[in-house]
Chains A and B, each alone.
Chain A
Amino acid sequence: MKIEISEKRDKSGNIKLMINGEATIYSVGTLKQELTNKYKDSENIVFDFSGITKIDTAGFQLFFLLRKNADSNGREIVYKNPSDEVKRIFDLYGENI
């Protein structure tokens, strides 16, 4: 049930986050905390979901809300390289990656 966020910042200051592990009810608490504490709600982030091995609706909810609110905050949140798991749940819930 471990989730790991590894961060990469490029020269332009763009943040790239790699999420590895399981994004489920067991890890969403930690995930939200990390994301809230480490990054300002103005910063743009690009997520790489290739490392997500398992995701449930709780995990989906988190990412869904993160991106949804971002638009209104003038923030850009982008999801890339979804693993099969991620693809499936996003498809199911009618959300584009």
Chain B
Amino acid sequence: MSSGDKFNLKEAMGIFFTESREMLEDFEACLLALEKDTEDEESIHALFRAAHTIKGSSGMFGFSEIEKFTHVVENMLDDVRNAVLKLSPEMINLMFDCHDYIGQLISLYEQGDSVELSSDMLDKRDGLMGAMKKYRPEEKEKAAVEEEIPEAEVFEIQGDDFAVASPYWHISLRFHDSIFKNGLDPQSFISYLNEVGNIEQVVTIVPDSVSFENIDPELCYLGFEIVFDGDTTKETIEDVFDFLIEDCDLRIVPPGSSISEYVNLLNELPEKPMHIGEMLMEVGSLTKAELARAIEMQKEYHEQELSELEIEGAEEKKLIGEIMVEEQMVQRPVLDAALEKQKDIKKNEEQRKKSIRVDAVKLDSLINLIGELVITGASVKQLAEREDNPELNEVVSTLSRLVEDVRDSTMNIRMVQIGETFKRFERVVRDLSKDRGKKINLIVSGGDTELDKTLIEKIADPMMHLIRNAADHGIGTPAERRAQGKPETGTIHLNSYSETGSIVIEVVDDGNGLSREKIYNKAVSKGLIDEGQEISDDDLFQYIFEPGFSTAEVITNISGRGVGMDVVRKNIESLRGQIEIESEEGAGTTIRIYLPLTLAIIDGFMVEVGGTYYILPLDMVVECNEISEEDLKGKEAGNYMDLRGEVLPFMSLRDFFKIEGERPKRSNVIVTEYGRKKAGLVVDKPIGEFQTVIKPMGKIFENLKWASGATILGTGEVAIILDVPMLIHHVQGQEAEKSHADAQTVV
């Protein structure tokens, strides 16, 4: 930002919306945590902070609806964190509703300049405000609490405490000894009092130990007791001595004060109480009787304080002793747990503090640049290899390594942990279970598996649908489950891990599972399979993804219409992924999503077929072998070869691409693997490792399922990047068709 830039309101507003949404996410997460443990102090405070922050920042932008509403929420949460209100399940539900409402408000403001609440919104708002009002303690009670406090601070004496007779102020001044040296003279200040009122009496006081002989005349040993008549306030009198305040001790006893005020004075002043007492009497602030009483009280108080201190001290020792002896053993694990939690919290905080916001567009252009860098680097490497210059080779080798590191680091920036997405589903599961009258527990594992940011965003919707399915149709009501001998609370388990070249996401439920029979019948009725046709579970279940295919008897507002699963599959396929279903009737269902780890910049393995270059993702390449002409011809049962005892289906890319021309004498088979499935791809010549950037191919090539992109070689030629998973799938599918044997082995 140059110094000439004006404050960009639009930019700031954008930040507000982003941050407020984050605050709302935190808010929701805290509510979920509090549902499990209402005593969770951390979450209570975090709740308050989130509401407080949203209120404040929305106020800054004049988003008054948000500000006003959140203010009420904040007040309620303030009462909770101050233990005036105790958190109940009803309150938590209310807070969930408030959370949703605030989210809607934020969206409204984000869309338009002027915000008008629809009648629905108004109803909602009034309903929520009304509900929150019920939790507000009575105004009277609050005022009473406030009043009590000052009284409690005043020292209470048993017995009669009465107001003194004197109608005047009593001002007591003691000075620090260097006041003269600091250039101050009390004279002017005290005489100024006469402007504010009328000084009735003054008495000068010095400590007994001070005498003319032993003093340093330049230091101040004086003090004054002043009786002052003025229709004024304590503050005004204090203001008179404002300049002196650093160098003196000022005590003011207002007119009509109780005896205890004077007792305090007696206690506080350095001189002996009797001594001061006499002064007070001399000056008229106390009558003889009042003084007598005051001295008495002062003595009592003093004794009481002493004995209390003694008791406290003894008790304290005993208590500590007891604790040390008795609870030492018990405290240890509690202490450790608390420390662990602290460490975790600290780690999280540190992690949070260490991150910065980056504009996604900037990141993309950086990645583009790195891509170009990779291509150029590869060219340099190729050219260098041609020169027989060891020095050059060494440097180029270092260069390549550095480029690789930069590439990896940059790609890493876009990686986000899937756990964040998983967390979002907690609320969904909670709401679903409530709506459907079911008890469902969401378990999450493998949250630290990282995916590219765009992948994560695109996978969220399909996952949502799958989870809804599981909650709706998969898991039954507590009664149903009990009848089945299952625990009342059903479980949905989200899991994620990485495998060769891919990321796997699983949605597992312990519900009713898929009914093979129903699906079979539906498929027959839809003409997808013939009556009596033999078909494996895996293949049969894939029909679920056909549009309009639903065996649900009751269509709910969420799922059952049969529009969901085909969209899910489409989404996953658009990410070049695959989806698999495993299910056991009565036990549950597992949905497994495979997503390829193809990044924009890949480590590739280059091959040549019929003069054209192709690139395979290196981490899907397992090995490369020569294949004889005989093997190439294939077997009766199809194109299989013996890979050290393993049956490997293969396909000749020459045939696949229908490349004409003479086949080379020797061919090579590249053994590729994806998602536990292997296939061999026969090529003319393997070239070697090659790092490159995937460039998208343009709309014309959209239907080219076996190519995931293209790249430009250093020579200027185009090489096509093969979609290995697709090819494997194709190879396996083809071979399965050719033979009736079950070529698919899914673990």
Contact = CB atoms under 8 A, between A and B. Distances in A.
Nearest to B201: A94
Nearest to B211: A69
Given A93-B204, A93-B224, A94-B203, A57 B213 contact: no
A5 interface: no
A36 interface: yes
B interface residue count range (under 10 / 10 to 19 / 20 to 34 / 35 or more): 20 to 34
Contacts of A56: 180, 185, 187
A61 B201 CA distance: 18
Interface stretch (A8-16, A24-32, A44-52): A24-32
Interface in A62-97: 62, 64-66, 68-69, 89, 92-95
A68 B206 contact: yes
Nearest to B221: A61
B190 interface: yes
Interface string B194-235: 000001011110100011110101101110100000000000
Contacts of A64: 204, 206, 222
Contact of A92 (B181, B202, B212): B202
B221 A41 contact: no
A58 interface: yes
Contacts of A25: 180-181, 218
Nearest to A94: B202
Interface residues of A, number: 23
B217 A58 contact: yes
A80 B211 CA distance: 22
B379 interface: no
Nearest to A91: B202
B217 A57 contact: no
Contacts of B181: 25
29 contacts: A29-B218, A32-B212, A56-B180, A56-B185, A56-B187, A57-B185, A57-B187, A57-B222, A58-B220, A61-B217, A61-B222, A62-B212, A64-B204, A64-B222, A65-B210, A65-B211, A65-B221, A68-B212, A69-B211, A69-B212, A69-B213, A92-B187, A92-B190, A92-B191, A92-B202, A93-B202, A94-B202, A94-B204, A95-B204
Residue of B180, B181, B221 most packed against chain A (CB within 10 A): B180
Interface of A: 25, 28-29, 31-32, 36, 41, 56-58, 60-62, 64-66, 68-69, 89, 92-95
Contacts, number: 64
Contacts of A62: 212, 217
Contacts of B218: 25, 28-29, 58
A79 to B, nearest CB: 14
A42 to B, nearest CB: 13
A27 to B, nearest CB: 9
Contacts of A32: 212, 215, 217
Contacts of B201: 94
A71 to B, nearest CB: 11
B215 A65 contact: yes
A68 B204 CA distance: 11
A95 B190 CA distance: 14
B633 to A, nearest CB: 120
Given A28-B217, A64-B206, 4 more contacts: A32-B212, A41-B213, A57-B187, A69-B213
Given A25-B218, A28-B217, A58-B218, A89 B187 contact: yes
Contacts of B210: 65
A9 B372 CA distance: 111
Given A32-B217, A68-B206, A57 B212 contact: no
B211 A57 contact: no
B186 interface: yes
A28 B206 CA distance: 18
Nearest to B191: A92
A45 to B, nearest CB: 12
A95 B218 CA distance: 21
Interface in B140-195: 180-181, 185-187, 190-191
A94 B186 CA distance: 14
Contacts of A69: 211-213
**In the complex, which of the residues B190, B206, B212, B218 has the most CB atoms of chain A within 10 Å of its own CB atom?**
B212
B621 to A, nearest CB: 96
Nearest to A93: B204
A61 B190 CA distance: 15
Nearest to A88: B191
Closest 3 CB pairs of A and B: A94-B202, A28-B217, A65-B212
A39 B199 CA distance: 37
Contacts of A95: 204
A89 B186 CA distance: 11
Contacts of B190: 92-93
Contacts of A28: 217-218
B174 to A, nearest CB: 13
Contacts of B215: 32, 65
Q: Give the interface centre of A29, A32, A36, A92 by most chain B CB atoms within 10 Å.
A: A92
Contacts of B186: 57
A64 B190 CA distance: 17
B305 to A, nearest CB: 33
Nearest to A90: B204
A31 B185 CA distance: 19
A31 B215 CA distance: 13
Contacts of B217: 28-29, 31-32, 58, 61-62
A58 B212 contact: no
Contacts of A66: 212
B578 to A, nearest CB: 95
Given A65-B210, A65-B215, A57 B202 contact: no
Contacts of A41: 213
